[in-house]
């Protein structure tokens, strides 16, 4: 089980690492308002899929839980959890709660 | 000149070598004479189905040829015995022959001959049948029946050769049988390693000064990774052939560096159409050209179609839907045409991965990843993803690596060398990957 703050740290750390890998150093300064997907976002669709895959691994390491972040349930939400870093962190807390 | 006639001419030359010793053609011929006598004593009055259980060796070779000569149907069965009962039942084998390297035992299995129309057709023609199995798409093996005399006839024009050959593929595999029949026809020594592990194979090459190594890219990659190349004198190798799956270009470059004196030749074959003679226009490239008067080929919607003299008579337990009415075999291999009538195998048609409408084949990504330091082997596949339809996933064998760093390194290598959608999004570290890199469904 993760707190919102812990989940946010995991998301931001992973964003920074992926930014380093993708040559987007600005992602090291990401915060919970950082847009992940959509117009003006830092990542394209493949970048977002990569972030999600890496986060699933980070969550497994941190909690021992195997989770799927991107599934139909997540996609059909009115507010996509992939829109901003903070929303994604909240979604991580939610699905690791059980 | 037929194979068995050649045995007399080659008499004193070594024919087969294994952990049991070396047998020359004269001794092999003596085994053939004994097997023939055993068969005569069975007093079979019609063509009969045999299961021939065993690995490459003098006894199994003698029986294979004797059964062909007498016009029977033979299914060579090697490897995991768990699968044998189902296969014996499928062909309705009346007799089972189990072979040790230099001896055999015969067991009756059922009384009634198979009533399968394919067998009936071959009986009418007086032709022996060779039955080979391929892993069907549903997991049930498909039994393919080949006109055996027609297949054997393709070896009659072979020239004599002194180059020892290694038997890597099994006695039950079209590639392994092709190696066996080819070396017997040429009067060369066929060296059978104690196992297919790189250490065994390297030891067998060094001991018998093997010159020809027919292999698969997966095995050659394993051989390099094992470190056995440094531990043995493999300088006798002159020709290394590779087939059954796409060759990653990065692997071919590493192989050429490790075996600077060897020529690399791509082979191509399917169980349905037989092994085809090919030539590589440029030894450094993975393009090939068919060089076989018995074979016609064409490319239909990126898929390779073949029509060959040695193609199978049919399946015992599957429809002939992969064959067209006019005899073309749809290989299921996706190919790319090159200059001057060359082509390159990209992978299996069904393996194509579609990432948000942009397509790729696993082999091109595997080639890049295999070139990343620390990676021993890998398999790339597509996985369903709600954001992009499918996404590229790789299973990587890299026991010594810092996983976090390697994950970034191999994705970076893919982004630098390939279109962006081809980089894996998910990297799984695994202890081993299964099967050949090209998942064969034929």
Q: What is the pLDDT of residue B442?
A: 35
pLDDT in tens, B81-102: 888 999 999 999 999 999 999 9
Query: Which domain does B226 fall in, by range?
Result: 159-348
Q: How many CA atoms lie within 13 A of B407 on its CB side?
A: 21
> What ipTM did this prediction achieve?
0.90
In a domain, B92, yes or no: yes
Number of domains making up chain A: 1
A70–B385 CB contact, under 8 Å = yes
Residues of B in contact with A58 (CB under 8 A): none
Q: What is the pLDDT of residue B138?
A: 57
Q: What is the pLDDT of residue B137?
A: 55
More confident residue, A5 or B139: A5
Domain termination residue (choose one: B298, B315, B348):
B348
Q: Residue B216, exposed/middle/buried by CB under 10 A (0-12, 13-18, 19+)? A: buried
Q: What is the pLDDT of residue B276?
A: 83
pTM: 0.78
Q: What is the pLDDT of residue A77?
A: 84
B397 shares its domain with B303:
no
- Give the mean pLDDT of A39-64: 90
**Which CATH number does the domain housing residue B373 bear?**
3.30.300.30
Strand B389-397 to B426-429 pairing: parallel
Q: What is the pLDDT of residue B436?
A: 57
Residues of A in contact with B427 (CB under 8 A): 53
Reduce the DSSP state of residue A83 to 3 states and report it. Answer: coil
Predicted confidence band of residue A52 (pLDDT cuts 50, 70, 90) = very high
Query: Which domain does A34 fall in, by range?
Result: 4-95
A46–B355 CB contact, under 8 Å = yes
A21–B408 CB contact, under 8 Å = yes
- Between helices B249-258 and B217-226, what is the axis angle to 10°? 50
B311 shares its domain with B423:
no
Q: How far apart are CA A6 and CA B155, in angstroms?
A: 70
Kindly give the parts of chain B with pLDDT less than 70. 1, 135-139, 435-442
Q: How far apart are CA B331 and CA B342, in angstroms?
A: 17
Domain termination residue (choose one: B129, B152, B175):
B152
pLDDT in tens, B332-389: 999 999 988 899 988 888 888 988 888 888 988 999 999 999 999 999 999 989 888 8
Residues of B in contact with A53 (CB under 8 A): 391, 425-427
**Which CATH number does the domain housing residue B56 bear?**
3.40.50.12780
């Amino acid at each position: 089980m993760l707190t919102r703050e812990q989940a946010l740290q995991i998301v931001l750390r992973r964003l920074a690492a992926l930014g380093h890998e993708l040559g987007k150093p600005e992602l090291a300064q990401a915060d919970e308002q950082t847009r992940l997907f959509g117009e003006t976002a830092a990542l394209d669709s493949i970048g977002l899929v990569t972030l999600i895959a890496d986060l699933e691994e980070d969550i497994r390491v941190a909690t021992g839980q195997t989770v799927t972040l991107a599934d139909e349930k997540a996609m059909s939400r009115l507010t996509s959890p992939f829109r901003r870093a903070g929303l994604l962190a909240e979604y991580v807390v939610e699905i690791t709660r059980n | 000149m037929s194979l068995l006639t050649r045995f007399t001419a080659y008499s004193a030359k070594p024919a087969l070598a294994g952990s049991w010793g070396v047998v020359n053609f004269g001794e092999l011929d003596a085994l053939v004479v004994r097997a023939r006598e055993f068969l005569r004593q069975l007093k079979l009055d019609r063509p009969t189905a045999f299961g021939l259980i065993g690995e490459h060796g003098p006894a199994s070779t003698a029986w294979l040829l004797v059964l062909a000569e007498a016009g029977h149907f033979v299914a060579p069965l090697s490897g995991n015995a768990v699968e044998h009962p189902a296969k014996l039942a499928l062909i309705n084998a009346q007799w089972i022959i189990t072979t040790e390297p230099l001896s055999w035992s015969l067991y009756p299995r059922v009384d009634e001959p198979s009533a399968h129309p394919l067998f009936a057709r071959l009986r009418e023609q007086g032709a022996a049948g060779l039955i080979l199995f391929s892993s069907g798409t549903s997991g049930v093996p498909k039994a393919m029946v080949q006109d055996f005399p027609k297949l054997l006839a393709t070896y009659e024009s072979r020239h004599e050769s002194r180059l020892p050959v290694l038997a890597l593929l099994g006695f039950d595999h079209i590639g392994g049988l092709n190696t066996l029949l080819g070396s017997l026809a040429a009067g060369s020594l066929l060296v059978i390693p104690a196992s297919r592990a790189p250490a065994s194979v390297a030891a067998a090459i060094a001991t018998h000064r093997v010159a020809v190594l027919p292999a698969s890219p997966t095995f050659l990659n394993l051989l390099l990774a094992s470190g056995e190349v440094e531990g043995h004198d493999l300088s006798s190798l002159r020709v290394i052939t590779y087939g059954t799956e796409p060759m990653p270009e990065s692997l071919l470059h590493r192989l050429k560096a490790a075996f600077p004196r060897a020529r690399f030749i791509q082979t191509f074959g399917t169980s349905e159409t037989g092994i085809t003679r090919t030539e590589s226009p440029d030894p450094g490239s993975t393009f090939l050209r068919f060089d076989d008067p018995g074979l016609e080929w064409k490319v239909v919607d990126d898929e390779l179609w073949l029509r060959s003299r040695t193609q199978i008579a049919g399946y015992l337990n599957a429809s002939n839907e992969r064959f067209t009415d006019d005899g073309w075999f749809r290989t299921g291999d996706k190919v790319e045409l090159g200059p001057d009538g060359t082509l390159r195998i990209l992978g299996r048609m069904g393996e194509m991965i579609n990432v948000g409408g942009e397509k790729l084949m696993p082999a091109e990504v595997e080639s890049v990843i295999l070139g990343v330091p620390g990676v021993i082997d890998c398999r790339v596949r597509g996985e369903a993803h709600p954001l992009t339809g499918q996404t590229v996933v790789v299973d990587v064998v890299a026991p010594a690596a810092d996983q976090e760093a390697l994950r970034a390194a191999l994705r970076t290598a893919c982004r630098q060398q390939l279109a962006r959608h081809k980089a894996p999004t998910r990297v799984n570290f695994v202890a081993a990957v299964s099967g050949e890199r090209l998942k064969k469904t034929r």
